[in-house]
Structure 1
Amino acid sequence: MSPKVAVVTGANKGIGFAIVRGLCKRFEGVVYLTSRDVERGKEAVAQLATEGLKPSYHQLDITDRKSIEVFRDYLKGKYGGIDVLVNNAAIAFKSNAPDPVAVQAEQTLFVNYFSLVSVCEVLFPLLNNGARVVNISSSCGHLSLIPSETLREKLKDPKLTVAELSGLMQQYVDAAKQGTHAADWGNSSYVVSKVGVTALSIIQQRELHDRDIKVNAVHPGYVDTDMSSHKGNLTIDEGAVAPLFLALDAPDSVKGQYVWFDKRIVAWDGQKP
């Protein structure tokens, strides 16, 4: 019998690092800390080793499909499948970033949404029965933050496919390049990307209805990380609580949901908490 396998993307620091820490303490199997930068990844593994924890390491650049495929082939050859997949890797431009909106839109959506889709396309075939997928979203991923009622209706359409969602996300990028995005989409590429992640999670669960796999999106809270410029009020371990709950402890009935940092299920298309 091959051991169970858990994978966390973008895990050399921040919430991803804390999720690996939590999994190493409780997951009965092999935990993979992955990162784009090998040296930073190995430093993170070494840091956890000082705590008596033993994650495995593999390089993974979610923006490079070849990198994802290499990782897939490695996992398939060594273990056969995946039991926990935490899609954590993401970027956020600072509020005072000088980059034009068009650049911020294209890069943010490419990493946070389109690259996450690529990871799922490549790795989902390895998911074992009973597997759990946790997509790290945000409070910014709530549907109410999209100004256009027409767009909100499209995004929550119960027949929406991943391909159609990706088309909508590309429409935002195109609109940002033309400077026509604000009225319909608002002014935050990060919001659009995380709304996309939440919508994606709901669609993925629907498309996996005939398999024993749970997919959920989670807002981990406002966490003290580089991404929040260390303004967050939660520690990284506190930010890992809800993702770990979904990865390890949530009842099987929790699937296709948008879960808050305190483990509450929140109505994605209702009023924002």
Structure 2
Amino acid sequence: MSSKVAIVTGSNKGIGYAIVRGLCKRFEGVVYLTSRDVVRGEKAVSDLQKEGLNPKYHQLDISDNKSVEVFRDHIKETYGGIDVLVNNAAIAFKQSATEPASVQAEQTLAVNYFSTLSTCEILFPILRNGARVVNVSSSAGLLRNIPNKELRKKFEDPTLTIPELSNLMREYIEAAKLGTHAADWGNSSYAVSKVGLTALTKVHQRLLKDRDIKVNAVHPGYVDTDMSSHKGPLSIDEGARGPLYLALDAPDSVRGQYLWYDTTIASWYDGTPIEKAETKL
């Protein structure tokens, strides 16, 4: 019951897999690799075991509340709580995708925003005081990617609530269904989903401050993964650098921030460096 626990969602491949690898090497506790598909997840664990690492495995589909609840109960009964939660699971349509904007909007936000939100609502009650939550965002999640100035103001509102944020996400889906989304929201459902995730990061930080929980978002860089069609120049281990920094090394003063993959605290609007977080160590 006293073991520390770190969890990475969507971690059977890509950046999530590399985050698990990095945690296994340095985190003083139990590390969980999770995935929707059990066979792929167990294969990933086996591959890491060949490197001399020993992650644990549990099935976890963030789009299925029952799956998340089963996982929560397992962690609570076995260890009592969570010390590090990395929300990595996400989807993205390819640029060549032929699905209409309405379908891309609904499916992308269902996973990247709404399922991440519901996963947090289920798992946050068992976060230990002092825990760290890392949301894997993207440069697509910069506010400048939302063309409408009034919408950007709503996302930046320091009193923004989760219901209000969720309503903004639904407004985008409805606009996509009507075909009126481009002027106000842009043409990328993935970008809107990651703007929503970064906004959620800041709202959650406000809500969890009394428990000394640190919640941050990070752009992992353009990484060579299936999601990028292997066009990214960075390796998955380079992509894991920022998330691992927030999970293990960032000073406690780093809270509710948006970080670049080199661990620079950056402007949420355009990614302009604000300060080098590592200098605070």
Write the mapping of 1:59-208 to structure 2, written as runs, cut at 5 A.
59-208=59-208
Secondary structure, counterpart of 2:209 in structure 1: coil
Q: Return the alpha-carbon distance in structure 1 between the equivalents of residues 116 and 266 of structure 2.
A: 22
**1:193-234 deviations in Å (ceiling 9; x for gaps):** 000011100110011121110000000000000000000010
Q: Return the alpha-carbon distance in structure 2 between the equivalents of residues 163 and 9 of structure 1.
A: 24
Aligned 8 A contact 2:138 2:220 in 1: yes
Aligned 8 A contact 1:9 1:86 in 2: yes
Q: Return the alpha-carbon distance in structure 2 between the equivalents of residues 13 and 209 of structure 1.
A: 32
Secondary structure, counterpart of 2:210 in structure 1: coil
Secondary structure, counterpart of 2:5 in structure 1: strand
Aligned 8 A contact 2:8 2:16 in 1: yes
Q: Which amino acid aligns with 1:54?
A: N
**1:221-260 deviations in Å (ceiling 9; x for gaps):** 0000000000001000000001000000000000100000
Q: Which amino acid aligns with 2:133?
A: V
RMSD: 0.9
**1:97-123 deviations in Å (ceiling 9; x for gaps):** 011110000000001000000110000
Scaled by the length of structure 2, the TM-score of the pair is 0.96
Q: Return the alpha-carbon distance in structure 1 between the equivalents of residues 242 and 226 of structure 2.
A: 20
How far the C-alpha of 1:269 sits from its partner, in A, is 3.0
Would you say 1:253 and 2:253 are equivalent positions?
A: yes
Q: Return the alpha-carbon distance in structure 2 between the equivalents of residues 148 and 142 of structure 1.
A: 13
Q: Return the alpha-carbon distance in structure 1 between the equivalents of residues 221 and 270 of structure 2.
A: 19
Aligned 8 A contact 1:144 1:271 in 2: no
Aligned 8 A contact 1:10 1:88 in 2: yes
Aligned 8 A contact 1:112 1:193 in 2: yes
Identical residues among aligned pairs (%): 72
Secondary structure, counterpart of 1:216 in structure 2: strand
Aligned 8 A contact 2:14 2:226 in 1: yes
How far the C-alpha of 1:270 sits from its partner, in A, is 5.1
Q: Return the alpha-carbon distance in structure 2 between the equivalents of residues 18 and 269 of structure 1.
A: 28
Aligned 8 A contact 2:38 2:59 in 1: yes
Aligned 8 A contact 2:19 2:237 in 1: yes
The runs of at least 4 consecutive aligned structure 1 residues that moved more than 6 Å come to: none
Aligned 8 A contact 1:8 1:32 in 2: yes
Report how many residues are paired. Answer: 273
Scaled by the length of structure 1, the TM-score of the pair is 0.99
Q: Return the alpha-carbon distance in structure 1 between the equivalents of residues 208 and 56 of structure 2.
A: 28
Aligned 8 A contact 2:258 2:267 in 1: yes
